[in-house]
Structure 1
Amino acid sequence: MNTEQKTHLIHDRNSRGKTLTGWLDSRHTFSFGGFYDPNRMGFRTLRVINEDRVIPGAGFGTHSHRDMEILTYVLSGEIAHKDNLGNGEIIKPGDAQIMSAGTGITHSEFNPSQSKPVHLLQIWILPDRQGIKPRYEQRSFSPVEKQGKLRLIAAPDGRNGAVTIYQDVEIYVAQLELGQPLNYLVKPERYAWVQVTQGNLTINDEILKAGDGVQISGAENLIFHTDIGAEILLFDLA
């Protein structure tokens, strides 16, 4: 994409990659695992957005990562996290959980429910430093904090109760209802990605549905509307 055009580009939900197993339904916005598209290798430092649905009692077995900022955001249900740092937490809707993999972290993620599936986003962002000591952080954000407004959930300085992320990126979440327009100005020399996580959304004149993503290159005033309700994640990127 020519960034000098200062335009935005829609990534349609139906063009995402898929991983379907007996326990996992995963959709990949960017190249991941067995899905490879040279035009979908990430956007700026945003490398992975996986939308995962995991059946009751199943999950991701113990595995390792290095030098990556990994954010988990749960849409419905719960996911149980364990790692070799000694953390054992339940991640619920409204929580933002981040791991800085650094020199190496080993963890597992399982759906602890025996009756309800879990629906979540796994997000990877390239860090601004390598070889750091691995770390874990988790914060909870109430519905009122994001209703009709953009709530900062991750930032390099961890301000306003956000989790700290080792990259020049700010991540916001917002829940919108009919009659609750919202706007966000992408500043010159900045970039943005908007991920529709639930519901239907109009950005300026573009109609989007859950799973769609929009990349924005350069200054643009984004105006959000919804007719049935929506939730979004917005990434403001260097």
Structure 2
Amino acid sequence: MANYIFHAAGSRGDANHGWLHSKHTFSFANYFDPERMHFGALRVLNDDRVAGGMGFGAHLHDNMEIISIPLEGDLEHKDSMGTTAVIRHGDIQVMSAGTGVTHSEYNKNADQEVKFLQIWVIPNKRNVEPRYDQISLNPADRINKIQEILAPEPQEGKIWIYQDAWFSLGKFDEGVEETYAFRGKGTGLYVFNLHGKITVDGRELYDRDGLGVTDANAVHIKAERDAEFLLMEVAML
């Protein structure tokens, strides 16, 4: 029988630094909840808003898979591998930190916020050579269907990470429904509703609500009104 864990949007950690307003689904920085350390290999789900021209200075990461999904605006990335890139809505970025990489992230524009999700996944291989990848997707390909964007191995049109993980996006009109079949064995699914209203196996999710599902092979998703959502299927540690 499937098990469900619900995280209401309003229950997330709230860090407002003025130039940065971040909502933490799982324990991060000064937000600590021993009941919300991670969901399987999904360690961090931060919902970030960065003021115009501001950003994160150079800082070090290691042994973590870091995925950034821009929602609005332009985010500029620079790192110690020599990468300089700008990611926008429709782009997906991944960085395998491995043995260690220093990077910075800034709002490319001075006159508008940048909004993005930063997601950390615990890798299944440690101390790999650091790696950067970025793809541009067509948002139209997720209208009324589920668009897979990340997998555990290189595939055309998707990014990949060192973990049994599959990420997908959906943008459903009211009334559209679909069954998501799990890709892995013994994995769990974390559903993050970006906006609108969906039901997952009959459980209601509104803007920024999250739902973890374990001990299941599939879930039924229905848009009760126009909605956009992110599915993160990950190994359960």
**C-alpha displacement of 1:229:** 1.7
Identify which range, 152-161 or 26-35, moves more after superposition: 152-161
CA distance in structure 1 between the aligned counterparts of 2:29 and 2:156, rounded to whole angstroms:
35
Residues 61 and 100 of structure 2 are in contact (CA less than 8 Å); yes or no, is this contact kept in structure 1? yes
Please show how residues 128-207 of structure 1 align to structure 2 within 5 Å. 128-186=124-182, 189-207=186-204
CA distance in structure 2 between the aligned counterparts of 1:156 and 1:221, rounded to whole angstroms:
19
CA distance in structure 2 between the aligned counterparts of 1:160 and 1:173, rounded to whole angstroms:
17
Q: Secondary structure at the match of 1:144?
A: helix
CA distance in structure 2 between the aligned counterparts of 1:14 and 1:7, rounded to whole angstroms:
22
**C-alpha displacement of 1:179:** 2.9
Residues 188 and 219 of structure 1 are in contact (CA less than 8 Å); yes or no, is this contact kept in structure 2? no
Aligned to 1:224: 221
Residues 98 and 137 of structure 1 are in contact (CA less than 8 Å); yes or no, is this contact kept in structure 2? yes
Amino acid at match of 1:175: K
> What TM-score, normalized by structure 2, do the two folds share?
0.94
Query: Over residues 20-51 of structure 1, what are the superposed CA-to-partner deviations in whole Å (9 max), with x where a residue is unaligned?
Result: 01101100000000000000000110000000
Amino acid at match of 2:85: E
Aligned to 1:116: 112
Question: CA RMSD, aligned part only?
Answer: 1.4
Query: Over residues 90-111 of structure 1, what are the superposed CA-to-partner deviations in whole Å (9 max), with x where a residue is unaligned?
Result: 1111111000001111111100
CA distance in structure 1 between the aligned counterparts of 2:189 and 2:11, rounded to whole angstroms:
20
> What TM-score, normalized by structure 1, do the two folds share?
0.94
Residues 185 and 219 of structure 1 are in contact (CA less than 8 Å); yes or no, is this contact kept in structure 2? no
Q: 1:98 aligns with which of 90, 94, 97?
A: 94
Aligned to 1:74: 70
CA distance in structure 1 between the aligned counterparts of 2:165 and 2:2, rounded to whole angstroms:
19
Q: 1:194 to 1:32 in 2, by over 3 A?
A: same
**C-alpha displacement of 1:219:** 1.4
Amino acid at match of 1:212: D
Please show how residues 31-110 of structure 1 align to structure 2 within 5 Å. 31-110=27-106
**C-alpha displacement of 1:181:** 1.4
Q: Secondary structure at the match of 2:225?
A: coil
CA distance in structure 2 between the aligned counterparts of 1:220 and 1:189, rounded to whole angstroms:
9
Q: Secondary structure at the match of 2:10?
A: helix
Q: Which runs of 5+ in 1 are unaligned?
A: none
Query: Over residues 127-153 of structure 1, what are the superposed CA-to-partner deviations in whole Å (9 max), with x where a residue is unaligned?
Result: 111111101000011012111111111
CA distance in structure 1 between the aligned counterparts of 2:3 and 2:232, rounded to whole angstroms:
16
Amino acid at match of 2:208: G
CA distance in structure 2 between the aligned counterparts of 1:228 and 1:160, rounded to whole angstroms:
32
Amino acid at match of 1:210: D
Q: Secondary structure at the match of 2:221?
A: strand
1:28 is aligned to 2:24: yes
Residues 175 and 225 of structure 2 are in contact (CA less than 8 Å); yes or no, is this contact kept in structure 1? no
> How many positions carry a matched residue from both structures?
234
Bigger share in strand: 2
Residues 77 and 83 of structure 2 are in contact (CA less than 8 Å); yes or no, is this contact kept in structure 1? yes
Identify which range, 18-27 or 182-191, moves more after superposition: 182-191
**C-alpha displacement of 1:220:** 4.9
Residues 69 and 165 of structure 1 are in contact (CA less than 8 Å); yes or no, is this contact kept in structure 2? yes
CA distance in structure 2 between the aligned counterparts of 1:13 and 1:44, rounded to whole angstroms:
20
Amino acid at match of 1:178: E
